[in-house]
Structure 1
């Protein structure tokens, strides 16, 4: 453990027995149980609200609850002014995208989280802007257009660039059309809906942030890395997990049905959220990710993995369209 970590951990009321590296974290074995120290790059004023939201989950889900310092703060700074937070560790196995039972449980847990995360206006202790999905789509679509112009001007194109340009018009037309329809949705109405219902979501609800474990009280489900939480409707979280899992199982209709049922058996999407979910799923996000990585990387050399992702995107497009037409048209 380096000197900076020692200085940070000394600000907490606990005895550290040993430490070891985790995934971008320092895991601490302490006299009060396992703790996780991680750097925090968000707004520190959000942490009190996060702590409040985490408290709402205690009777139904486990989570990596924030730990206060000896002075009662939810974060500390090291000698370089970097911000760190300390959290309880949720022990267990990560949700597997290969296991349908795991995914179904993860969707049910997500619905629980969204129901618990509803916070009345009177309880709000931090003002956060509402995330409106059309804004992000518009930024991505503008970038798609810029990269197409760049590709067209290239004289000596690589094999990857030729393959990318060959598919470009198809996916860009989709991006433009979906962005236009998203802009037709009322931003004021969406923001009023999120604000009036006090809606918050995880913000990065992926399978590796869902933990299954067993304790003295029996089996439990844990949800971790909540510091990414956003002031947005639950459809945002569902979209991310649904898209990630669908891509890994070739847009399986059966898996899609299972995920939708697992979530909506606990919380039915209101119409305004359902429309946002349909639009998010129709937007060619994977295509944007590929070109974003390409445009912001060394153009002279592209890893085979990115070429493989493009081929996978093209190969899966028919199944993706079939699934969207069945469930989200």
Structure 2
């Protein structure tokens, strides 16, 4: 560890036994157990909200979360001499969830359902910073601005998300049509655009007759929270330990990290995101996907509106939009072959995904 990073650790009232560099962070063996020092990508106000959530989860019995550590000056963010901001968190042994192992994936889904049961914002009445307040401004990602707001932001309404993404797809089409020299990427995009826009339109139409509006309002009014980035990198499996009918022992449970993007929203957004990430690596295996949904429902039964929500998110051609939007924002004088490969993958996965949707959710598009 470099000298100025050791200076960062000196800002904390802990004894450092050893450190080890890992993928953009440092593992720190301390007198209070394993910790992780990593650059902080959030504001001081957001860090405080994060601490309040993780402290709330810990107090409710869900202890295996990456709770931040305060500095000697009672700050959650420490700063190095070059201005780099860091956060020190409690950490856990074990390994990341392996998506190739069905047991790992199903345990991660089970963990998510248990987490969702406790993910509701409950401000500490003894903490001035936890007094409820609301904010109206929206960030670029569609969430409310968190600065100077003393409760978590609300996620963007799905109607607004669909409309925004569809407008961007049409903007990309208009741009490509005007280009004189069209390469493989542009030709492939135009070839599949109409099919993708039909899916986008169908998702938007289905949304209007679904139970989403009530579900969204209940989620926001009930202050129900989503993790916001629930993927296999943020799920740590206890090494060499097997589950029992009674679950895992306290320190042997699955650990969940990376809550920085938490907000108030429809909770099964996390389930959709994790399901999509896993299924993309398993070519949208119907039997495996069904097992994931069934595992979640064992702990936290899915309502009809939540099932509709997951299906609508799956119907929308999100990956196609993401690749197209990245193309539009890039230097289009030269399109790398990797971009063409990503678009080809998005098209193939959309076709696999729609077969999955039809079989799992009985949608016949």
Work out whether the TM-score is over 0.5.
yes
1:29 paired residue number: 29
Q: 2:295 aligns with which of 262, 269, 275?
A: 262
2:246 paired residue number: none
Q: Secondary structure at the match of 1:63?
A: coil
1:15 paired residue number: 15
2:46 paired residue number: 46
Point out the more displaced range, 28-37 or 193-202: 28-37
Tell me by how many angstroms 1:113 deviates. Answer: 0.8
2:106 and 2:292 in contact (8 A); partners too: yes
Q: Deviations over 1:235-265 (max 9, x none)?
A: 1111111111111111111011111011111
Q: Secondary structure at the match of 2:41?
A: coil
Gaps of 5+ in 1: none
Q: 1:154 aligns with which of 174, 179, 182?
A: 179
1:145 paired residue number: 170
Cα distance, 1:2–1:218 mapped onto 2, change above 3 Å? closer
1:194 and 1:232 in contact (8 A); partners too: yes
- What is the distance in 2 between the residues matched to 1:61 and 1:193? 27
Tell me by how many angstroms 1:4 deviates. Answer: 4.1
- What is the distance in 2 between the residues matched to 1:271 and 1:48? 35
- What is the distance in 2 between the residues matched to 1:41 and 1:186? 35
1:127 paired residue number: 151
Tell me by how many angstroms 1:110 deviates. Answer: 0.5
- What is the distance in 2 between the residues matched to 1:39 and 1:24? 8
Matches within 5 A, 1:62-73: 62-73=64-75
- What is the distance in 1 between the residues matched to 2:212 and 2:266? 13
Tell me by how many angstroms 1:35 deviates. Answer: 1.6
Point out the more displaced range, 33-42 or 231-240: 33-42
| 1:229 is the counterpart of 2:262 | yes
2:97 and 2:108 in contact (8 A); partners too: yes
- What is the distance in 1 between the residues matched to 2:358 and 2:222? 30
1:90 and 1:224 in contact (8 A); partners too: no
2:190 paired residue number: 165
- What is the distance in 2 between the residues matched to 1:248 and 1:188? 32
Matches within 5 A, 1:293-312: 293-312=326-345
Cα distance, 1:217–1:174 mapped onto 2, change above 3 Å? closer
1:94 and 1:208 in contact (8 A); partners too: yes
1:130 and 1:194 in contact (8 A); partners too: no
Q: Secondary structure at the match of 1:19?
A: strand
- What is the distance in 2 between the residues matched to 1:218 and 1:229? 23
- What is the distance in 2 between the residues matched to 1:127 and 1:190? 20
Point out the more displaced range, 106-115 or 20-29: 20-29
- What is the distance in 1 between the residues matched to 2:253 and 2:28? 22
